[in-house]
Amino acid sequence: MIPVIMAGGSGTRMWPLSRTAYPKQFLALNSHLSLLQETVERLQGLPVEQPIVICNEEHRFLTAEQLRQQQAAADILLEPVGRNTAPAIALAALQAMRRSPHQPPVLLVLAADHVIRNQQAFQQAVTHLLPQVQEGSFGTLGIVPTEPATGYGYIRMGGTPEYGLRQVREFVEKPDATTAQGYVDSGDYLWNSGIFMIRADRYLDALQKYQPDMLDACRKAMEYAVQDHDFIRIDAQAFTACPENSIDYALMEPLCTQQDAQVIVAPLDAGWSDVGSWSALWEISDKDDDGNAIMVGEKLAANDVILQDSQNCLVSAHSKLVTLLGVDGLVVVDTDDALLVADKSRVQDIKNIVATLKAAGRSEHHNHRVVYRPWGKYDSIDTGYRYQVKRITVKPGAKLSLQMHHHRAEHWVVVSGTAKVTNGDKTFLVTENQSTYIPVGQIHCLENPGAIPLEMIEVQSGAYLGEDDIVRFEDVYGRN
């Protein structure tokens, strides 16, 4: 069995903590691990091989670093464009067949941004499904509803229970409130979790029958894929021509109309959530006696959030003291560069705020103040007319690209650690409390040759300070 972890998506409804460049699957919302890392951790104890992780190019280094922290080797497929879940799973199925051409593996398809509290129940459901899927059935996990939710699709069950499994009659759209209540009252419906178990060859055969154009585009995209360091780059031209569709529409719905399709579901009651909004996070979080859920970032302590006469609130504090007085049902999310205050019943509309930020040309929808790079990270401490100040952290052994800037000069001050600096035709070490100056147009490079992180203050000055004013001549990470 090969896990296929879908790590794309932007998570706009979890703004301002989730941003386009650092979406929710990479955030630690439920524990000290990110949601992606929790997904990997959830597999321990199951008979699985090295996973296949699918992400977009912008998140490739984040994905690789978080997997490295978990000591989890993986095939990382880079989607050049998003084409929804059916093509993404097709890429994974083709990669899985490359790895095991003589014994088609079972794909366990998982989203990277879900929470499942009861790992044992999840693994039991997977184990119950596995023999049937190995024999050729199409399997899925359906969530036992806890309420008549209108934000999920549903699965209608049929047939008599066998080993805890049921036949699937149909996949249905997100219902209105009245319809959802009827679904729950009937006992014949489960929430559609988006977790699937399918033998790789059976998936490709079904695509050939129902979505031949999609399969053809995915085959071409994989045929011309290239290995790039830790990543497998899917051919952009071929994949861009692929039709866009979800696995539900492309395969599951037409399969359910066939008498011999053998689409089966394992009901799962395991504290599942897709963490699709701040209210969803509040629901699964630990709360105090007044129903308040509190999250604090690594810069803060628990007593940096003070609530008085306030109930049923969620506070996520990451940069400063947050206090609430006499309020009910609020979501308050504080980050280094943005503050959200919202009624908990309106959090689904946060996507409209993100759209407004995009339309205004602001950067807060895309980047945090702290931006992660394969070599480390930088924090934009201050910005003003013709200057910008950053705190730069370079990981031990890491190296920035050999580069130059047309419009800005840089002054580097080492706070801790040792920097190996290339400045024009000279290479030298800069240690704590020492500095160096990089003129406009000078070719330069920064490296951490030491065993501890390099901490440095960079002061930029010039007419234009954008990140796109970088001309790279050499880069160990393969960036242009």
List alpha helices for 251-316, DSSP H: 253-256, 278-284
Phi, psi of 5 (to 5 degrees): -105, 115
Q: Which whole number is the average pLDDT over 313-321? A: 96
Specify the DSSP element, H or E, that contains 446: strand 444-447
Domain that holds residue 379: 370-474
> Which pLDDT band holds residue 12 (cuts at 50, 70, 90)?
confident
Q: Are 85 and 37 in contact (CB under 8 A)?
A: no
Question: Final residue of a domain: which of 232, 257, 273?
Answer: 273
> Token pair of 387, please?
């200057």
> Token pair of 61, please?
């280094």
Does residue 365 form part of some domain? no
3-class secondary-structure state, position 431: coil
In terms of Cβ atoms closer than 10 Å to its own Cβ (0-12, 13-18, 19+), residue 264 is: buried
Question: Is the pLDDT confidence value at 190 over 90?
Answer: yes
* CATH classification of the domain holding 199: 3.90.550.10
Phi, psi of 266 (to 5 degrees): -105, 115
Q: At a CB cut-off of 8 Å and minimum separation 6, what does 436 contact?
A: 411, 412, 421, 423, 428, 430
Locus of tokens 């040792």: 418
Question: Is the pLDDT confidence value at 225 over 80?
Answer: yes
Q: Which residues of 369-408 are buried (b: 16+ CB within 10 A; e: fewer)?
A: bbbbbbbbbbebeeeeeeebbbebbbbeebbbbbbbbeeb
* 344 and 407 both lie in a single domain: no
* CATH classification of the domain holding 422: 2.60.120.10
Mean pLDDT, the chain, rounded, equals 94
Ramachandran class of 309: left when φ > 0, alpha when ψ lies in -120 to 50, beta otherwise: left
* 9 and 109 both lie in a single domain: yes
pLDDT at 164: 79
> Which pLDDT band holds residue 7 (cuts at 50, 70, 90)?
very high
What is the tens place of the pLDDT at every residue in 335-345?
999 999 999 99
What is the tens place of the pLDDT at every residue in 230-271?
899 999 999 999 999 999 999 999 998 876 668 999 999 999
Does residue 479 form part of some domain? no
Q: What is the pTM of this model?
A: 0.91
> Which pLDDT band holds residue 161 (cuts at 50, 70, 90)?
low
What is the tens place of the pLDDT at every residue in 450-474?
999 999 999 999 999 998 999 999 9
Domain count for the chain, please give it.
Answer: 3
Closest CA to 422 of 394, 399, 406: 399
Closest CA to 18 of 331, 335, 283, 298: 335
Q: Which residue has the higher pLDDT, 160 or 128?
A: 128
